[in-house]
């Protein structure tokens, strides 16, 4: 018997950074994001002994240890080991895990958190644990951010668990996921006009987030302005989508990028700036880095008549244009006989 899981990756439109503590506790965070047809995948195969075997395609690592052995957090698949420690009891049998993602770690699509959500989905099914979607997302956050101390926010775990286009509110003691009811023609038009490209470089987001958090703690004026404007722009962009004002949505995406860069000078790079300016020269209304910054994926909103010109220009500069569609299903798990 096999247990399989997949959780979607996400693109972010506005509000990123306002979900990173301590901002949600102090001022409340707002994020507008959407999941897409790129995924984190997992497979669990039960064993008859007490051995746990883990293979991660993304990190090119494999390891095996006994269920009764002390867990050693040594930088090798610590996220996976931490989830197993939280969810698998000592009376369990062993199992094999196979994990991979459609985007590499550090790409800005929330792949690390999506892998964690898929892993929790596997272990939830394996142990028949009655976890709600909110509990799955919160557990993924707690393991990543609190147990292991990996710096970052909350939006990725909730996006991967719930799926869809969501306006998410973050407070000190709770998260509220508000799915947006957008008409099918507007959804098709947004997909038609959005362009996703990979800069072919990844980044260590924790350093960028640490700098952003330190600036907020120092009450740096630029960082405070950037974060507070992200909240306002997330609300404005949500309203633009619901009111069918798509050109306004594209222009607000540009504003979101300009204010995001105020949160930390580490968010952009000379190459990212060049890509952005080239896209704008060829007709893109707006765009931004999809994650913490420094590299990874960039998202642009283009009037469709300009989209091919933007794609060609970015490709000439070394970026890789990627096709995608929206995914409205969040975490999925299912069981299969051996294949």
Q: Give the pLDDT mean for 124-131.
A: 95
- Confidence grade of residue 204 (pLDDT, cut at 50, 70, 90): low
Residue 144: what are its φ and ψ, rounded to 5°? -70, -55
Which architecture characterizes domain 2-181 according to CATH?
Answer: 2-Layer Sandwich (3.30)
Superfamily of domain covering 184-322: GHMP kinase, C-terminal domain (3.30.70.890)
Mean pLDDT, the chain, integer: 94
- Confidence grade of residue 293 (pLDDT, cut at 50, 70, 90): confident
Same fold, 2-181 and 184-322: no
74 labelled catalytic: no
Rounded to whole angstroms, the Cα distance separating 113 from 145 reads 10
pLDDT of 31-89, one tens digit each? 999 999 999 999 999 999 999 999 999 999 999 999 888 888 999 999 999 999 999 97
Rounded to whole angstroms, the Cα distance separating 266 from 17 reads 13
**Strand pairing partners for 289?**
298
Instruction: Identify the active-site residue in 49, 50, 78, 156.
Output: 156
The pLDDT of residue 205:
66
The pLDDT of residue 206:
62
As a three-state string, the secondary structure of 34-90 is: EEEEEEEEEEEEECCCCEEEEEECCCCEEEEEECCCCCCCCCCCHHHHHHHHHHCCC
Domains in the chain: boundaries: 2-181, 184-322
In terms of Cα–Cα distance, which of 217, 311, 209 is closest to 260? 209
**Helix (H) or strand (E) run with residue 156 in it:** helix 155-162
The pLDDT of residue 224:
93
């Amino acid at each position: 018997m096999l247990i399989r899981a997949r959780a979607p990756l996400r693109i972010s439109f506005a509000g990123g950074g306002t979900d990173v503590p301590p901002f949600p506790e102090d001022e409340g965070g707002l994020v507008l994001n959407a999941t897409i047809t790129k995924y984190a995948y997992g497979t669990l195969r039960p064993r008859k002994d007490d051995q746990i075997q883990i293979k991660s395609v993304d990190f090119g690592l494999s390891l095996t240890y006994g269920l009764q052995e002390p867990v050693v957090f040594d930088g090798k698949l610590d996220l996976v080991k931490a989830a197993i420690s939280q969810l698998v009891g000592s009376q369990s049998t062993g199992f094999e895990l196979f994990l991979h993602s459609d985007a590499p770690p550090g790409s800005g699509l929330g792949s690390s958190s999506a892998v964690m959500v898929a892993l929790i989905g596997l272990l939830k099914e394996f142990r028949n644990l009655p976890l709600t979607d909110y509990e799955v997302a919160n557990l993924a956050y707690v393991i990543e951010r609190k147990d292991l101390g990996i710096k970052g926010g909350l939006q990725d775990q909730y996006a991967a668990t719930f799926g869809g286009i969501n306006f998410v509110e973050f407070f000190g003691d709770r998260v509220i996921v508000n799915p947006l009811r957008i008409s099918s023609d507007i959804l098709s038009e947004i997909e038609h006009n959005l362009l996703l490209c990979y800069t072919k470089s990844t980044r260590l987001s924790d350093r960028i987030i640490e700098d952003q958090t330190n600036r907020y703690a120092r009450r740096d004026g630029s960082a405070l302005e950037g974060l507070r404007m992200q909240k306002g722009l997330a609300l404005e962009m949500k309203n633009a989508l619901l009111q069918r004002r798509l050109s306004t949505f594209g222009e607000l995406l540009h504003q979101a990028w300009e204010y995001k860069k105020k949160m930390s000078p580490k968010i952009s790079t000379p190459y990212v700036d060049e890509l952005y300016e080239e896209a704008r020269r060829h007709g893109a209304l707006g765009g931004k880095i999809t994650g913490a910054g420094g590299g990874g994926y960039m998202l642009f909103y283009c009037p469709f008549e300009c989209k091919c010109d933007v794609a060609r220009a970015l490709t000439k500069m070394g970026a890789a244009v990627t096709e995608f569609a929206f995914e409205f299903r969040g975490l999925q798990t299912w069981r299969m006989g051996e294949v």
